[in-house]
Amino acid sequence: MVQKSTHTAEYAAMLRLLVERRKSLRLHQADVAATLPFKQPEISKIERGERRIDVVELRMICTALHMSLPEFVAKLEERIAALHATESAADARAAEPSAKAR
């Protein structure tokens, strides 16, 4: 069964990056919402992964967070690459025979 994209580690990384960016700017959800066609409760739902966003909405949010969409995507790609590298290393360790089995 195919996993919904909102339930993936990659989507969670995207949301964490949005929240981290907002907090680094010392903005509240209401501050971000004031510049968008969303209200604060929608920003909260987006950040919690309860409301899915499309690329146009992501671009608007990035603009509200004083960053371009390409800049955000570059940072997200770095996060996802690191995530996959960590998963690959964990998989490799799990595949190794344990010291007790030797």
Q: Domains for the chain: give ranges and CATH numbers.
A: 5-90 (1.10.260.40)
Pick the residue with more confidence: 98 or 18?
18
Give the per-residue pLDDT at 31: 97
Using the predicted structure, report yes or no on whether residue 98 has a pLDDT greater than 70: no
Using the predicted structure, report yes or no on whether residue 102 has a pLDDT greater than 50: no
Give the residue carrying structure tokens 């971000």.
32
86: left (phi over 0), alpha (psi -120 to 50) or beta: alpha
**What are 28-62's pLDDT values in tens digits?**
999 999 999 999 999 999 999 999 999 999 999 99
Q: How far apart are CA 32 and CA 40, in angstroms?
A: 8
Confidence tier at 93 by pLDDT (50, 70, 90) = low
Give the per-residue pLDDT at 38: 93
